Structure 1
Amino acid sequence: MIGRYIWEISELRRSHHGLTLNELNERWERSSLYDGREIIRKTWYSHREQIASQLGIIIECDKRTNRYYIAYEDTIGRPDIQNWLLNSFAVGNMLMQGKDLKGRISYERIPSGYDYLTDIIEAMRENRIISISYQSYWKDEPSEFELMPYALKVFKQRWYLVGANVAFEGIRIYGLDRIKNIEITQQKFKMPKSFDVEELFEPYYGVSLVDGEVEKVRIKVYDNQAKYFRSLKLHESQEEIKTTPEYSIFEYHIKPTFEFEQELLSHGESVEVLEPAYLRERIKKRLEWSLEHYK
């Protein structure tokens, strides 16, 4: 049934002015999910209720036109998160209906850790401490510890758990794909009122938290690669401060992280770090070390 809900959400989202129930049924008859039965008003009412309760997406009706539409409300904390969910549903619906296109759609296989999302969200809602078995990349055996789950974050299609380890001070980040087991305990914790995961990561690129002040970073991007940076910002603070036919200069106000350096390096000869000087030197050293492997 979840596939049906995703299809209905996607169709409403594709329509610019909403859909009447008759128009929705016309699209339903052309869908690969069509089961020979039309969507009657009673069924549609039930589906709207389930979509609201299970997915947090409200479908309303314009009484003047009898058209149904998605109400972009702050139902789950942030409108941009709701938009992200809707985009995910739209892609899922497209792929689901493309099952007859075997051999023509390629999927990216990513270790996600989705198995533990439900438990983590349940623990977050009830502010309960969770017991975790976690396999770090840097250790041979899994570690066992208790964690206060504060938030979840997605970076490069991987999920990360943000929380406070009961045994240590400060916030820690854990990849869901490295979690071996989770148990929700009966112990409760007090969620800090001032905590906001978006504000926490605002000065960073990636999922690393580093000390220090926010710095001005400038990079020179050569040739057509600047178009890529314009279409997909590396960071919200990105500004294009100089544009020429040969290159563009982009400026950031950020705390440089390992992930940020890796992203710059991934663009190869198309990107040059201008400032700060220490970051320029560090990127230069990394490139020199990389060249050593080819000698």
Structure 2
Amino acid sequence: MAGYKPLRRLEIIISILQQQPGISKALILDRLRNRYDNITSERTLERDFKALNDEFGIDVKYSKEVNGYSLDTENQERVQSLLKFIELIHIGELFKEGLDDFDLLKDKIELEDSSKFKGIAHLKDILLAIKKNRQIQFTHENYWKETEKEYIISPLLLKEYLNRWYVVGVPLGGDEIRTFGIDRMKNFKIGKVSKVKKKNYEKQLDQFVNIIGLNYTAHPKVEKITLKVYSKQIKYLSSLPLHHSQKIKIDEGAEYGLVTYHLIPNYEFEIEILKMNSMVEVLEPAWFRDRIKNMIASMLSNY
């Protein structure tokens, strides 16, 4: 499947299935036509279901009991990845149109600091290297150590986090994957054909599913984290989940609810909790509650 319009239709279909699991094919077509002004045939809808499964690994399941269709609940990570991809395409279409009248566009859209886009020119070459199974070579700056180092890696994956792009790969002579921010790269070039096989590193790459952000070595296993979150903050978590495993339980009119996650608790997750300030309390596990408590106490000692 290629093109903006088919992807936009897939986005709408996913939204319909999320809003009403078990919905019939006839009702999906009706929603597409009447709510989204998207006239689609039954045959096209069946091809869209097939495209979701074949091209994006998202299974649309049919239930005889309700005579309807639902998204496979085990596909949430893939669903979120596809929606993020389509979101980037939306932005690309917007700015493509803006090229016709840039002065008009810049007065209506305000972007954040352009430093976030530093290194983005390397994306195309990195993706090409991944497709062609080629090494890449670059100088990388370590902000924490304040050092620069030359690297040759076999790139396996491009990853976006907080509007910054990273390449995940295996350094020459190593057997563990590492993550490099492309905004800290210079002297970039594509190198020789790589002997690294991605299939040998799938187990390591799969760990990204269990985390927020980039660091999956901060804790040895996935934990169930339970938070007490006040109702106003829950609205924000509902609209923008921190992780695909997020589950919210709140009674109507209640002052607070319970939010659970199954993930590897890392620094990025801790920061997300701290960003919610007094609107959240860690309930369990006890060791993680104590960790957040100690972080807050350490912060307070600075004042």
TM-score normalised over the length of structure 1: 0.70
Displacement of 1:82 in angstroms is: 5.0
Contact 1:123 1:129 in 2 (8 A): yes
1:205 aligns with 2:227: no
1:148 aligns with 2:154: yes
What SS does the corresponding residue of 2:188 show, helix, strand or coil?
strand
What SS does the corresponding residue of 1:117 show, helix, strand or coil?
helix
In the other structure, the counterpart of 2:67 is none
Structure 2 gaps, min length 5: 13-39, 59-78
**Aligned pair partner of 1:237 in 245, 248, 273:** 245
Displacement of 1:141 in angstroms is: 3.2
In the other structure, the counterpart of 2:34 is none
Paired amino acid for 2:111: Y
Q: Partners in 2 of 1:63 and 1:247 — Cα distance?
A: 44
What SS does the corresponding residue of 2:111 show, helix, strand or coil?
coil
In the other structure, the counterpart of 2:4 is 9
1:89 aligns with 2:95: no
**Aligned pair partner of 2:236 in 213, 223, 228:** 228
Find runs of 4+ consecutive structure 1 residues off by over 4 angstroms: 14-17, 62-65, 74-83, 194-198
Change over 3 Å in CA distance of 1:205–1:82 after alignment to 2 = closer
Structure 1 gaps, min length 5: 1-5, 18-61
Q: Partners in 2 of 1:230 and 1:64 — Cα distance?
A: 32
Mapping for residues 1-295 of structure 1, pairs under 5 Å: 9=4, 13=8, 73=51, 80=79, 81-95=81-95, 96-97=97-98, 99=102, 100-109=104-113, 110-112=115-117, 113-193=119-199, 195-196=201-202, 199-210=206-217, 211-243=219-251, 245-294=254-303
Higher helix share: 2
Contact 1:127 1:188 in 2 (8 A): yes
Paired amino acid for 2:208: F
Displacement of 1:201 in angstroms is: 0.8
Deviations 1:61-80 (A, max 9, x none): x8999x9xx96836865564
Deviations 1:85-135 (A, max 9, x none): 332222233354484254332112352321111121111111112222100
What SS does the corresponding residue of 2:147 show, helix, strand or coil?
coil
Contact 2:155 2:170 in 1 (8 A): yes
Contact 2:228 2:256 in 1 (8 A): yes
What RMSD over aligned residues (CA atoms) do the two structures have, in Å? 3.3
Change over 3 Å in CA distance of 1:240–1:82 after alignment to 2 = closer
TM-score normalised over the length of structure 2: 0.69
Q: Partners in 1 of 2:146 and 2:247 — Cα distance?
A: 43
Structure number with greater Rg is 1
Change over 3 Å in CA distance of 1:15–1:265 after alignment to 2 = closer
Aligned length: 241
Contact 1:219 1:250 in 2 (8 A): yes
Q: Partners in 2 of 1:94 and 1:10 — Cα distance?
A: 14
Displacement of 1:203 in angstroms is: 1.2
Contact 1:10 1:90 in 2 (8 A): no
What SS does the corresponding residue of 2:294 show, helix, strand or coil?
helix
Change over 3 Å in CA distance of 1:199–1:143 after alignment to 2 = same
Q: Partners in 2 of 1:271 and 1:255 — Cα distance?
A: 19
Contact 1:162 1:173 in 2 (8 A): yes
